[in-house]
Structure 1
């Protein structure tokens, strides 16, 4: 899950963080009671009442799904291209489907091989899936190279632009006839996890989140008390450690790795520490790209998590 632009930052900030000894694959749940942060407005713009003006074209007809290239109006008025995967059954399209916004690491886009593979895993198990080209990525890539360096990516304006477009993507998903709008989830890998934390924290439509190889508290300057205070006050910081507590009590699964070349263990653990009740942490003994394990198995464990958390109960409600 490439996030190459963080490489230089790792070299610099590794002097500020103590990399503790990796441990084997393990899981832990955070179920202790914790007061929910007071509700505040999202630090990013939303526009649920503005027209999306969506356009769709079929890219591929597979046995179990249809893949579309779609586009719609983004939070700043420009067009947001995306890939949409819609499952089929013998009678055509399914109904009442759960849906996932699936986002990739830095340097990726909707066509990146691994994100397409993961999207197909989800759609094969009955999910509607959308992956957008984020600002300055894919078809939206501009001439401003600084926008994609580490300072540009971590800048508050850029992160909030990402989040605003995620919100518009969920506006689009929720309006689709196949989708049960009470069964919406978010899965992000690397940079998609880092930005997704801030987005999901303020969008209650997202009922569960999977964060894969993400982290927070990147400069190592925030104490737990400061981070919790920032979350309570609705900090506008771009660092997800300020926002992750707001996801509680919604289910949040963290997947992190012990040999991550890009996300320091201390960054991952800082995010885990500041998450609220309902979060679960799973460590895998591999690297950022899951090279020494079967990535399909790891991704299917995330889908299993979503199956459980987005399940429809006997009364027909989530």
Structure 2
């Protein structure tokens, strides 16, 4: 019996390293990334508590919170390109039904002198309300402002490209022209990398990453440059005699929607905003199945470090209590519906807290990633309600 006990003890003793080795092999995975996501992405998301969001922040006075939260946003977007006098010049004009289309150039910053389309009503008496029209991403870089305003004085290829895009995304409508025909001054510029602000050698999908990285190497970030250019667009409109500076709105679809609520959050010179098909939460977007985890198209909409302070709807809430409209599609594969609903709930909580929920419109449409004529009509009605005298 004694010998048997000794044998069993020795067997147990010598078998321990084997069991430990087996257990150790199960303590970690032989890889750290799955479908472009760190395998610990769920744990990472759990650390995002958004301490600067309205309701989470220790600042309980809304105006003081708004000032502090906006400072946080700018600290993540900065530095801003230095400003310069606009020095606008008109290159070409075209008379359209109820308005004049102008191809202009202006200094959007001290760094860049850029082309743009400016549409000015010629019916009725100004100054008029105005809308900054912000183009989408669409992985379509050859055109930018031409997605919002029907181009003129361009090659047949560019016009055909723009016409096709209007059909594909905007229900055959140039939304900028649609608003100009209804009495709005419209401005549309190319975001850096699109249209006439593209790459000399020609743009492609992969070079987005190089541009974003090179900007970061020089202390800037792509989304910051785009946002500050959009802010200067508002400043430019406010400087025009044809524009009522107290009635400027902003409108965009897809990436243009992201630009629209970012712009509305960043400056109070925007009095109303509409964002079509871009609103969600980080929790819903950052998953193994959503297209966001592929990177690529997200580069132009990344604000370094902002998720450590605020989620997407928290940033958009900086626009409160001004009138804002958010539309999304129930069949939009880019933005999970549950995330849209959560974001809308968060937005309404903020507007409700300021007794301004009657100025916030959120709606889920039974459709895909698309800006239909019916959606355009409701958006126009929204701006008419809040920007027209």
State the 1:174 CA deviation.
Answer: 0.8
State the 1:268 CA deviation.
Answer: 2.7
Name which of 146, 161, 178 aligns with 1:111. 146
Higher strand proportion: 1
Gaps of 5+ in 1: 1-10, 18-33, 223-233, 313-318
Instruction: Decide whether aligned partners of structure 1 residues 49 and 191 sit closer, same or farther in structure 2, where only a CA change above 3 A counts.
Output: closer
Residue 195 of structure 2 is matched in structure 1 by: 138
Partners of 1:44 and 1:163 within 8 A in 2: no
State the 1:124 CA deviation.
Answer: 1.0
In 1, distance between residues paired with 2:223 and 2:273? 18
Instruction: Decide whether aligned partners of structure 1 residues 252 and 12 sit closer, same or farther in structure 2, where only a CA change above 3 A counts.
Output: farther
Q: Which moved more, 1:101-110 or 1:213-222?
A: 213-222
SS state of the match for residue 134, structure 1?
Answer: coil
User: 1:3-82 counterparts in 2 under 5 A?
Assistant: 35-36=62-63, 37-39=65-67, 40-41=70-71, 42=74, 43-44=77-78, 50-75=84-109, 77-82=111-116
Q: How many residues align?
A: 267
Residue 315 of structure 1 is matched in structure 2 by: none
Alignment RMSD (CA, Å): 3.4
State the 1:193 CA deviation.
Answer: 0.9
Partners of 1:45 and 1:164 within 8 A in 2: no
Residue 385 of structure 2 is matched in structure 1 by: 308
Partners of 2:331 and 2:366 within 8 A in 1: yes
Residue 289 of structure 1 is matched in structure 2 by: 370
In 1, distance between residues paired with 2:194 and 2:207? 10
Residue 260 of structure 2 is matched in structure 1 by: 196
Partners of 1:99 and 1:179 within 8 A in 2: yes
Partners of 1:71 and 1:81 within 8 A in 2: yes
- TM-score, length of structure 2 as denominator length: 0.61
In 1, distance between residues paired with 2:277 and 2:211? 20
Name which of 318, 326, 329 aligns with 1:254. 326
Instruction: Decide whether aligned partners of structure 1 residues 46 and 281 sit closer, same or farther in structure 2, where only a CA change above 3 A counts.
Output: same
State the 1:95 CA deviation.
Answer: 0.9
State yes or no: 1:158 paired with 2:222.
Answer: yes
In 2, distance between residues paired with 1:168 and 1:256? 27
Structure number with the bigger relative contact order (C-alpha 8 A, sep ≥ 6) is 1
Query: 1:3-49: per-residue Cα shift (whole Å, max 9, x none)?
Result: xxxxxxxx978xx99xxxxxxxxxxxxxxxx9453314334456797
In 1, distance between residues paired with 2:174 and 2:331? 23
Gaps of 5+ in 2: 1-34, 43-60, 148-161, 287-302
State the 1:199 CA deviation.
Answer: 2.1
Structure with higher Rg: it is 2
User: 1:226-265 counterparts in 2 under 5 A?
Assistant: 237=306, 240-265=312-337
Partners of 1:82 and 1:131 within 8 A in 2: yes
State yes or no: 1:148 paired with 2:208.
Answer: yes
Instruction: Decide whether aligned partners of structure 1 residues 83 and 280 sit closer, same or farther in structure 2, where only a CA change above 3 A counts.
Output: same
Name which of 258, 262, 271 aligns with 1:207. 271
SS state of the match for residue 286, structure 1?
Answer: coil
Instruction: Decide whether aligned partners of structure 1 residues 150 and 306 sit closer, same or farther in structure 2, where only a CA change above 3 A counts.
Output: farther
Instruction: Decide whether aligned partners of structure 1 residues 76 and 269 sit closer, same or farther in structure 2, where only a CA change above 3 A counts.
Output: farther
Partners of 2:329 and 2:368 within 8 A in 1: yes
SS state of the match for residue 206, structure 1?
Answer: coil
Instruction: Decide whether aligned partners of structure 1 residues 215 and 172 sit closer, same or farther in structure 2, where only a CA change above 3 A counts.
Output: same
Instruction: Decide whether aligned partners of structure 1 residues 38 and 218 sit closer, same or farther in structure 2, where only a CA change above 3 A counts.
Output: closer
Residue 344 of structure 2 is matched in structure 1 by: 272
Higher helix proportion: 2
Residue 4 of structure 2 is matched in structure 1 by: none
Instruction: Decide whether aligned partners of structure 1 residues 49 and 111 sit closer, same or farther in structure 2, where only a CA change above 3 A counts.
Output: closer
Query: 1:81-102: per-residue Cα shift (whole Å, max 9, x none)?
Result: 211111112xxx7412000001
Query: 1:35-91: per-residue Cα shift (whole Å, max 9, x none)?
Result: 4533143344567973112121234211311111112112351122211111112xx
